[in-house]
Chains A and B, each alone.
Chain A
Amino acid sequence: MSMLDLSGITAGYGPFTALWDVSLRVAEGEAVAVVGPNGAGKTTLLRVISGLIAPRSGRIAFGGAELAGHPAHDIVAHGIAHVPEGRRLFPGLTVADNLKMGAFLPAARARYRESLERVYTLFPVLAERQKQRAGSMSGGEQQMLAIGRALMSQPKIILLDEPSLGLAPVMVLRVFDLIRRVREEGYTILVVEQNVRQVLKLVDRAYLLEVGRIKMEGRAAELAEQDFVRKAYMGV
Chain B
Amino acid sequence: MEPIFLVEAAINGILLGGVLALLALGLNLIFGVLDIVWIAYVDLVMVCMYAIYFFHVAFGWPIWAAGLVSLVAGTLLGVGVHLLIISPILTSAPINQLLATGGLLFFLQSAATFLWTTDHKTVRLSLPSYEIAGIFLPATRIIPFAISILAVIALYFFLTRTYIGTAIRAVSQDRDAMSLMGASPQRIYIVTSAVGGLMAGLAGALLIFQYSVHPFFGGQFGPLTFMICVLGGLGNMVGAFIASFIMSEIISIGGVVISTEMGYVIAFVIFIVMMFVRPGGIMAKRE
Contact = CB atoms under 8 A, between A and B. Distances in A.
Interface of A: 50, 52, 71-74, 76-77, 81-82, 84, 88-93, 97, 100-102, 104-105, 108-109, 149, 153
A84 B180 contact: yes
Given A100-B163, A100-B166, A101-B166, A90 B174 contact: yes
Contact of A104 (B169, B174, B181): B181
A76 B181 CA distance: 7
A47 to B, nearest CB: 9
A82 B173 CA distance: 18
B31 to A, nearest CB: 15
Contacts of A71: 179, 184
Given A104-B163, A109-B163, A92 B182 contact: no
Contact of A90 (B163, B170, B179): B170
A50 B178 CA distance: 12
- In this complex, the interface size class of chain B, counting residues with CB under 8 Å from chain A, is 10 to 19
Nearest to B181: A104
B163 A88 contact: no
Contacts of A50: 180
Contact of B181 (A52, A74, A92, A101): A101
Given A89-B177, A90-B178, A105-B182, 20 more contacts: A73-B179, A73-B181, A73-B182, A73-B183, A74-B184, A76-B180, A84-B180, A88-B177, A88-B180, A90-B169, A91-B173, A92-B173, A97-B166, A101-B166, A101-B167, A101-B178, A104-B167, A149-B181, A153-B181, A153-B182
Contacts of B176: 52, 72, 84, 88
Contacts of B174: 88-90
Contacts of A52: 176, 179-180
B177 A104 contact: no
A156 B185 CA distance: 23
Contacts of A91: 173
5 tightest A-B contacts by CB? A76-B182, A105-B182, A88-B177, A72-B179, A104-B181
Contact of A102 (B169, B173, B181, B185): B181
A72 B173 contact: no
Contacts of B170: 90, 93, 97, 101
Contacts of A97: 166, 170
Chain B at the A interface: mostly helix, strand, loop or mixed? helix
Given A52-B180, A84-B180, A105-B182, A93 B163 contact: no
A109 B162 CA distance: 12
B149 to A, nearest CB: 24
Interface of B: 163, 166-167, 169-170, 173-174, 176-185
13 contacts: A50-B180, A52-B179, A73-B184, A73-B185, A76-B180, A77-B182, A90-B170, A100-B163, A101-B170, A101-B183, A104-B183, A108-B182, A149-B181
Contacts of B180: 50, 52, 72-73, 76, 81-82, 84, 88
A101 B182 CA distance: 9
A93 B161 CA distance: 12
A151 to B, nearest CB: 12
A161 to B, nearest CB: 11
A82 B179 CA distance: 10
Contacts of A76: 180-182
Contact of A93 (B166, B182, B184, B185): B166
B165 to A, nearest CB: 10
Contacts of A93: 166, 169-170, 173
B240 to A, nearest CB: 15
B211 to A, nearest CB: 36
Contacts of A108: 182
Nearest to A82: B180
A207 B185 CA distance: 33
Nearest to B169: A93
Nearest to B177: A88
B177 A90 contact: yes
A186 B234 CA distance: 45
A52 B179 CA distance: 8
A16 B261 CA distance: 58
B87 to A, nearest CB: 15
A138 to B, nearest CB: 19
